[in-house]
Structure 1
Amino acid sequence: MNAPSPHHLMPTDEDGEQLRLPVIRDAPVADVLEVLQEGDISILGRMPYSSNATFLVRIDHATTPTAAIYKPERGERPLWDFPSGLYRREIAAFELSEALGWHVIPPTVERDGPLGVGSVQLFIDADFTEHYFTLVAEDRHHGDLRRICAFDFIANNTDRKSGHCLASRWGPIYGIDQGLCFASDFKLRTVIWDFGGEPFDEELCTAIGSAADPPADLARWLRPDELSALAERAEWLADFGRFPDDDGGRRWPWPLV
């Protein structure tokens, strides 16, 4: 599966050449958040094949420009099983990842942008022909991928496609598109099952156990029942002590990439 993910095709210029965008690379998270929160936003274009309105934007802050992904609430399609405000779950995912010390979700903030309130997330400059199914073939990526796998179980991610795992050009792998996370009913859907049955190492198990007491800041983005369910999943996973398997073969998203 070497085809690029259609969710992350880069826009091109008038000559059909891929746009080269400014991106903050490997900077302290606090500095990135300041740029995302305070910089001036200009829309460069709409990302293709996205279910909801998703825009590539440029953010200019002092002498530090960067590309970012902007998802306004007004561009969301109504869903029967998730309330409006999916962008809030994108922010909750980032904050949970930071609280766990895993740093597998790009810095994400709430902004009142050109099309109203929504999430603004650091754009991950990556080789978009790479995705989970190609990355997992290399052992050097397994640390990040294990953390994303555990994160998705705790966050109850219902849509972890292969193309939602991006290997940044500065090294780490990030998970993107977390709008369909944190439901109180367990409905995990993911392509990451290669680690099923493997025991957690001590560091991973300790971090998972800490999520049984969710960060207080998550209450700004999630409902009380969703926070309680998150805590229960984390406690169960820490007690289980290893990566779950999908014995029934039903917990896969579609399309896979």
Structure 2
Amino acid sequence: MSAPERIPPRGVTPAAGAAELLARGELTVRGRIRDASNAALFCTVADEGRKVSCVYKPVAGERPLWDFPDGTLAGREVAAYEVSEATGWGLVPPTVLRDGPYGEGMVQLWIETAADDSAAELLALVDAEEPDPGWKAIGFAEVGRGRTALLVHADDVRLRRLAVLDAVINNADRKGGHLLPTSDGRLYGIDHGVTFNVENKLRTLLWGWAGEPLAPEALQVLEVLKDALGDGGTLGVRLAGLITPAEVDATRARVDTLLALGTHPEPNGDWPAIPWPPL
């Protein structure tokens, strides 16, 4: 492949009909995203005068994972989008599974982040023992020379919704770099290839609400997901073509558990609670 074009900052909020455009438009590779752990290509997709930027991750470029032996990263990325859409929160950019220049893969709308300090308003390291009002503690982190600092995240409804979504899809890799705030105030989560495992592998920076009661809106959304995942439910049907039957069953079980307990999950100690590197 020729030298990649300059990759622009992530930005543009998803437009109406973006998923359909991603699925049927002409996909053109523009360059490679070099800091990705698996093959990730910056592309454009165009159809009938419309053109958007996107990320294309071909299945052929995926590295095998011993702890995620079934299915594909691409399938799980699309499954995460389907669950996000079912919540009505729109937390994952439009994402489809389609054929491309390097075979079948995941294609996701490119999201540009806000040009201001929006990301800094979500996560921070502070020299304190307790978080300030409006912040939630994650834990202490080594910052060099034997010093530690308190890692915190904002007490933000967008992050709280994302924490619920991650609990449903069993996200094993919710890093700070996977949070994309946009200039219009929206927040998107990306990189959902290690999700939906039948074992509890939740690893996230969003532990600030651990053990706290779920918000009423979250309980309502979980009821919607329960119905959509039930026999003949639209979400269950969609997921069946993307992840394994056992993973679909485990997703139903996680929704049932969240509803039964009525609280945000807590680290169980059997799996590292925070991904590495965290940011």
TM range (shorter): 0.7 to 0.9
CA RMSD, aligned part only?
2.5
Asked if the contact 2:5/2:30 (under 8 Å) is kept, the reply is no
Greater mean alpha carbon deviation, residues 130-139 or residues 41-50: 130-139
**Deviations along 1:68-97, whole A, 9 cap, x unmatched?**
010000000011122252100011000111
| Equivalent residues of 1:24, 1:66 under 8 A apart | no
**How high is the TM-score relative to the length of structure 2?**
0.78
User: Greater CA deviation, 241-250 or 109-118?
Assistant: 241-250
C-alpha deviation, 1:231, in angstroms: 0.8
Counterpart of 2:79? 92
Q: 1:121 aligns with which of 92, 95, 108?
A: 108
> Over alpha carbons, which structure has the higher Rg?
2
The match for 1:44 among 30, 34, 44 is 30
Cα-to-partner distance string for 1:30-58 (whole Å, 9 max, x where unaligned) = x1112111211111111122111011111
Check the 8 A contact 2:123/2:176 in 1, yes or no: no
| Distance in structure 1 (CA, Å) of the matches to 2:183 and 2:120 | 18
Aligned residue for 2:56, secondary structure, equals: strand
Mean alpha-carbon deviation: is it higher for 172-181 or for 211-220?
211-220
Q: What's the offset of the Cα at 1:26?
A: 4.6
1:253 alignment counterpart? 275
- Assess if the C-alpha contact under 8 Å between 1:106 and 1:174 holds in 2: yes
* Secondary structure in structure 1 of the residue aligned to 2:39: coil
Contact 1:141 1:173 (C-alpha < 8 Å) held by counterparts? no
Shift of 1:198: 2.9
Looking at structure 1, the residues matched to 118 and 277 of structure 2 have their Cα atoms a distance apart, in angstroms, of: 13
Structure with the higher helix share, 1 or 2 = 1
TM-score (structure 1 length as normaliser)? 0.84
Higher strand share: 2
Structure-to-structure mapping, 1:61-100, within 5 angstroms: 61-82=47-68, 83-100=70-87
Q: Unpaired runs of 5+ in structure 2?
A: 125-133, 136-153, 230-234
CA–CA separation in structure 1 for the residues paired with 2:46 and 2:272: 44
1:160 to 170, 174, 185: 174
Choose which of 255, 261, 267 in structure 2 pairs with 1:234. 255
**Secondary structure, in 3 states, of the residue corresponding to 2:99?**
strand
- 1:52-201 matches, within 5 Å, as 52-82=38-68, 83-127=70-114, 134-136=121-123, 142-201=156-215
Percent of residue pairs bearing the same amino acid type: 38
Alpha-carbon offset, residue 134 of structure 1: 3.9
Aligned residues of 2:173 and 2:203 also touching (Cα < 8 A): yes
Which secondary structure state, in structure 2, belongs to the residue aligned with residue 191 of structure 1?
coil
- Give the unaligned 5+ runs of structure 1: 1-10
